[in-house]
Amino acid sequence: MNNKFYDYDAVVLGGGLSGCEAATTAARGGIRTLLISINMDSVAVMQFGNLIWLDRFKDLFRVLENIESKTPRIIRDNTLIKVKAKRNNFERLKGSVVIDKKRFVMDMKRMIESHTNLETRQGLAVNILKKKTGYEVETSDLQKFKARSIIVCAGTYLDAKINWGENILKAGKPGEICSSRLYHNLKKIGMKFEKKSLFSAPKIIISSTVKDSKRSEIIKYCKSELCSISSKSWANKANNTGRRIFLVPEGKETEEMYVLGFENNLSEEEQLTSLMEIMDFKDSYMTRPGYEIEYACLAPSLQGNDLQVKGFAGIFFAGRVSGSMKYEESLAYGALAGINARNFIKREKTLKLSEIRNLLGNGRN
């Protein structure tokens, strides 16, 4: 047997934003890295809207560039719209960019696939076993991968449940399976978790049957300015409820738009009704309902200040599974975990979370 396929320095579990960042950062640090993802077609998928605050987190992105991360570049290459706060309307989104989701996924996938020192494998990690010289990751197809360090970037997939209305699905994203065996096995070896939940907004398409000037106005508006508050009543309603809602195009090659600001887990009928209330919904239809996703993330008491799990030397948690709530945080935590996994393997000092936190702190205000 060719052992090099089963023996790595670092194994990253999960191919979301933090997983991609962790894996590429570790690989650039000169260690052999493997990224395992349940579905190689779903790496770097943005589940909750497609905005990234490039400006607000410019320190973070500068750091990523300094450590030669290609992600900031890919974000820029796939920017559909830069939101300028010319009008008050966009204050909430000031400094953000809208990403072409599909193209971003394709570029990120290409980036990780062709990255030196980094290999990818489709598989569902189900267990982490302690070995004399490190760990072993077991996948559901019964393969075992040796790893001196493991970075868990399971995103929202650990023991995940999706709900909207009465409907409950065990899924990490709609239509995709979740990871429950890994969760139970990690609990068995003594890790503790708490449940968190996040809300995703519905997606809509402004129907192409509407050919009047209104649709073209809306579309023009979206293309140039991101937002499509064209009907007055809608803007007023939105103001009444105290929230501003934005229609964010998902990409150049799709008509789907994310209804940012309308994150909810109402039943499908109620979501439709509400959309009708806030805008003239005759012209559009809902393609995917919003939902709440409840998932397990590592208990803060176990989270070391270098992202290492207390009591498990060499195992790092990064991204949503470690409690981060934003894409930018996930990227930052991923990069830090990648650096620290490398430092751990090279027996160097690991960096502290607080150093990254400062960068994120800038963004928060």
Partner 1 sequence: MTNRNVSRETKASRVMENKGTFDIIIIGGGHAGCESALASARMGLHTLLITMNLDKIALMPCNPAIGGLGKSQLVKELDAMGGQMAKTADRTLLQIKILNSSKGPAVQALRAQIDKKEYEIEMKKVLEKTEGLQIMQGIAKKIIVKGKKATGVIIESGPAFMSRAVIITAGTFLKGRIIIGRKDYRAGRMGEYPSMLLSENLKEIGFEINRFQTATPPRIDKRTIDFSRTRIQEGEDKELNFSFWNNYDSHKNIPCHLTYTNKRTHEVISENIGHSPIRSGMVDTQGPRHCPSIDRKVINFPEKARHPIFIEPEGENTNEMYLQGLTTSMPAAIQQKIVNTVEALENARVIRPGYAVEYDYVLPSQLNYTLESKGVKGLYFAGQVIGTSGYEEAAVQGFVAGVNAALKIYKRRPLILTRDNSYIGVLVDDLITKELTEPYRMYTSRVEYRLILRSDNADIRLSGTGKRIGLVKEEDSKKVQKKDSDAEEIISELRKIRLLPTEDTNKKLKAMDTATLESPTDLYDLLKRPETSIIKLLEMFECCSTFRDKEVLRQAEIRVKYKGYINRQIAEAKKLSSLEKHIIPDRFDYYPIKSLTYEAREKLSKIRPCTVGQASRIAGVSPSDISVLLMVLKHRLVVGEKNG
Chain contacts with partner 1 (rule: CB under 8 A): 1-2, 5-6, 38-42, 45, 102, 106-107, 109-110, 113-114, 119-124, 139-143, 164-167, 169, 171, 174-177, 203, 205, 207-209, 253-256, 267-270, 272-273, 276-277, 281, 285-289
Q: Is 262 helix (H, G, I), strand (E, B) or coil?
A: coil
Separation between Cα atoms, residue 323 and residue 201, nearest integer Å: 20
Tokens coding 247: 């229609």
172 alpha carbon, distance to own chain's centre? 12
Tokens coding 51: 């905005």
Separation between Cα atoms, residue 332 and residue 352, nearest integer Å: 12
Beta carbon nearer to partner 1, 198 or 351: 198
Beta carbon nearer to partner 1, 215 or 357: 215
Separation between Cα atoms, residue 107 and residue 344, nearest integer Å: 29
Minimum Å distance from CB 24 to partner 1? 14
Minimum Å distance from CB 33 to partner 1? 13
Beta carbon nearer to partner 1, 67 or 169: 169
The amino acid that residue 343 corresponds to is N
Separation between Cα atoms, residue 195 and residue 180, nearest integer Å: 13
Tokens coding 123: 């598989």
Minimum Å distance from CB 9 to partner 1? 16
Q: Is 31 helix (H, G, I), strand (E, B) or coil?
A: coil
Kindly write down the DSSP assignment for every residue of 208-258, as one continuous string.
Answer: TT--SHHHHHHHHHHHHHS----SHHHHHHHHHTT---EEEE--TT---EE
Beta carbon nearer to partner 1, 116 or 301: 116
Minimum Å distance from CB 280 to partner 1? 12
Beta carbon nearer to partner 1, 230 or 284: 284
Beta carbon nearer to partner 1, 38 or 298: 38
Tokens coding 323: 């409690």
Minimum Å distance from CB 152 to partner 1? 18
Beta carbon nearer to partner 1, 15 or 363: 15
Separation between Cα atoms, residue 72 and residue 53, nearest integer Å: 11
